[in-house]
Structure 1
Amino acid sequence: MVVIPVIVRTRSLRGGHYRAGLKHGAEPGDIPPGSLTEDQLAVLRADPDLEVEIIDPPQEPPQPRKKKPAPAAEGTGAPAPGPAEAAEAAEGDAGDEDFGFDDDPAQASGAEGR
């Protein structure tokens, strides 16, 4: 018995009836993932009085990134950040470097024309 890992949405075209051990109403209803077997899904799809729609299970929403705790001021009794936190904080400042790009477009275009 293989369980179907997707959401199955059904709607009865005759106002409501039972099929494959489940009640299907006139309004669309969702059957959660893992609730149907392949055989039950085949029975639902074969019923001419049912609309059957397969919906992929919703993806996990992206988890928000955890904020780094602010470094504690000296003398507050809070522990100082460890080496890993200090390295991450140093990486955050890396975007302030000058990469040597010219800020004046006139100079850049004049050098290319030579």
Structure 2
Amino acid sequence: MNVPRWLLPHRVTIEPYQGEGAYGPVYGPPVADVPALVAETVRTVRDREGREVTSTAQIIAEPGLDCPPESRLTLPDGRATKAINIARHTAPGLPVPQSTEVSCE
């Protein structure tokens, strides 16, 4: 069971991080109008290298979201940010919704 769409009232734009190129980070084409639930709350999270960093926004989206760490996101208010950490919430066999959580700078 996936998180119901009616619980995802916001829309974000994601530019998936694809790696480093000769001139810096390389991003895939922007994916606009991604349904999400955005919470702009300050939290301490760990980045992909295990360092403690501050997240100022968290996004809940449908499972299978293509948003690797370092991806660029544009929030509903127009603020541009980067993905710090991605958590895929699954519960096989349990009656709870699956989702993807993205912690942003």
Give TM class, smaller chain: under 0.3
The structure with the largest strand share of the pair is 2
Q: Between the two structures, name the one with larger relative contact order (CA 8 Å, sep ≥ 6).
A: 2
The structure with the largest helix share of the pair is 1
**Higher Cα Rg: structure 1 or 2?**
1
